[in-house]
Structure 1
């Protein structure tokens, strides 16, 4: 009884899920969505429903799959060992891209303090390199330090985003919002699609929603509920905060901003408040980078422990930090940053965002299509099988729609990256076959 009372209820887990989801992904989106216009509120609604289906499916996967590896383990249930590798590989690449995008966001918010960082593409690249390197080195002391820093820095985005969602309506001008409805004069369907990859970016990380089932009361019921409620809460905050900004800052000005949340607080209060909010956003980006870089190092370590990544990724220090894996990841990040240099920070951010969203949909689809196998193995009731199958299928369909919305450049480039993964797996499969033939396996 004493042990059970220490476990989280549905309210506590809902808050945890929402906070985990609300990383730095939102802070550049108002400027990106300004190109779509305020019609992007419809994109948010579609994404919110799709994200809730995905969250529910992952909560169920986490309940029934007891193997380590997260999405990779879920996908293996239906698609076999090669799927475990491709899911791990594509998720790893997605996080590399995401880290560079977050670093670009941080540079955008640093510009009011250090104007030189966006004076030339080379200066921007140098600033991105410094941020990536510093946050990577900070991870060298292991998970405890990373966890402590991230638990504080997350408030750097929660405070301005949630705060704006509540108090921003006092400054909201409906005419500014209406005037920005569809600046590109696209069809309704085309406008909604143009905002889908942007809004989906804000929900990346949803796959971790069901990872805390062991610390929850009645996890069979409460974990899926908390995933749905937490995702819905995050969606409400996202929709409210971006809508408020679009009703305060004229669209033409918002499109040009490298720090939209700093800009809106400047217009609401004063330049000092705007700079304070901008500083909070920089802190949030740094904390988010710390967390995602360490997460990605653990993804590669887990794959290496399963002999699906090279052994070098599995080596850890006395502080339990896979430093060699981190350094390899930093090299990939710097290479990607150099390949995506752009005179416009927002263009660079959007290119990275679309590529990351497309590649992340690969493990999403592979993982969710493994749920029906898990449901059958665990002999759930026909009712639970039907409900879970329908919701997970809707999540898969939405993920495929997310791929379409990323655009041809992202799909083309991302497909090539994913196909290279099969080359790597071919060598691993050949190694395993040789072991079997020589009796070493």
Structure 2
């Protein structure tokens, strides 16, 4: 999972504008989060054939990034995914989007904490066990929740400060892989379970696309770039492209040095790779950087989860504990405390015998939910735009999103269905409280 909104808050009000190149680096940084650090472990059963999945997901992510660029260009005043879907598909879908995205932020944060704990296990092997790992996850979530409770600016600065540090492990892994790459190792790991590509590659798409989550942050840059009409689209596609290059190079490096069978039991694959090539001292540096990046990513998604809940409360979708329509923008202390408690509960409920099992369970459910929201945004763009180019783009994005969900394992799809059902029950209360009101400017449904 990627860290979103890593732009320091003061930059949003300074009046300085970003060129498309710098904006592209910001987009790439928002996606390249700590989740990728455990991706080789989750993909060990697919092996080096997961390279095909990276290319497929990268192409789909570029299309979706362009979709959000179109939405951001046509609706620069929208308040994130909730507003995009509400305006295009009605208040009910806007409500479902708010609840689902809030759930993704909280659940995804637990998965990010797992990645940080996995790399801490490089220094403290006991953290590879379920009990100590759960305690460490709780501590990481508690620390970043406290930072958010102290103010969004504190958590945002924490996330921004870890961006460059987090890239170091991937760059070192790429260099190590280039120096020690073995074609025989890469070939032997092509399909560890002997499955045909038609079965192994589709199954890997959900795990892989996790690393592209956050591409929707590109739309938020429209007010910060010099020429939104052109630069948002350029920055979105270039940012996804840069992230894709890093992902592919890092994946090839790992599978070209470490056999897939050994990756399956690893808690810190890039640190293990660095240790094989450069020695234990460099491996320790990689692991430390990954932990720092994990903390920053948790901080970024803690802000996003809290702000999503606040916005939803202001629209009447959630209780006033998270925010109030009477005082828009104010963050009640109950907001981060409740979110932190929910994440702590998720840590306990999803405990698995191995970090890889728990990580795979969480990111599968989160990715399916988020891709469903991307599909709704594609439909919103189709309805909002009359230009043939944007409409074709939205259809391609919709086809990719539906295909990615269809390729997911049933165990990843069921949580999304359950959330929709539970949220629909909640909608009955929201609608009765609002007296059946439909917001002006939104489609009725």
Q: Which TM-score applies when normalising by structure 2?
A: 0.91
**Aligned equivalents of 1:115, 1:186: Cα separation in 2:** 33
Secondary structure of 2:385's aligned partner: helix
Instruction: Please state if 1:203 is matched with 2:205.
Output: no
User: Alignment partner for residue 223 of structure 2, among 214, 220, 243?
Assistant: 214
1:286 match: 295
Residue 398 of structure 1 and its aligned partner are, at CA, apart by 1.3
Assess, with a 3 A threshold, how the Cα gap between structure 1 residues 389 and 154 changes in structure 2: closer, same or farther.
Answer: same
Secondary structure of 2:427's aligned partner: helix
Q: Deviations over 1:133-153 (max 9, x none)?
A: 111112122122122211111
Q: Which TM-score applies when normalising by structure 1?
A: 0.92
Secondary structure of 1:112's aligned partner: coil
Residue 115 of structure 1 and its aligned partner are, at CA, apart by 2.2
Contact 1:86 1:363 in 2 (8 A): no
CA RMSD of aligned residues (A): 2.1
Contact 2:176 2:277 in 1 (8 A): no
Q: Deviations over 1:301-344 (max 9, x none)?
A: 01111122111101699x96543111111122122222211111
1:370 match: 380
User: Alignment partner for residue 416 of structure 1, among 412, 415, 418?
Assistant: 418
**Aligned equivalents of 1:35, 1:219: Cα separation in 2:** 42
Residue 45 of structure 1 and its aligned partner are, at CA, apart by 0.6
Secondary structure of 2:48's aligned partner: coil
More deviation, 122-131/169-178: 122-131
2:443 match: none
Assess, with a 3 A threshold, how the Cα gap between structure 1 residues 263 and 322 changes in structure 2: closer, same or farther.
Answer: farther
**Aligned equivalents of 2:31, 2:417: Cα separation in 1:** 26
Instruction: Please state if 1:330 is matched with 2:340.
Output: yes
1:175 match: 184
1:299 match: 308
**Aligned equivalents of 1:251, 1:213: Cα separation in 2:** 42
**Aligned equivalents of 2:176, 2:147: Cα separation in 1:** 35
> Which residues in structure 2 correspond to 1:127-166 (within 5 Å)?
127-166=136-175
Deviating beyond 6 angstroms after TM superposition, the runs of 4 or more aligned structure 1 residues are: none
User: Alignment partner for residue 236 of structure 2, among 227, 232, 241?
Assistant: 227
Give the paired residue count.
424
More deviation, 240-249/142-151: 142-151
**Aligned equivalents of 2:332, 2:175: Cα separation in 1:** 41
Assess, with a 3 A threshold, how the Cα gap between structure 1 residues 135 and 315 changes in structure 2: closer, same or farther.
Answer: farther
More deviation, 133-142/397-406: 397-406
**Aligned equivalents of 1:415, 1:334: Cα separation in 2:** 23
1:381 match: none
Contact 1:304 1:313 in 2 (8 A): yes
- Structure 2, gaps ≥5 residues long: 1-12, 439-445
- Structure 1, gaps ≥5 residues long: 377-384, 437-441
1:432 match: 434
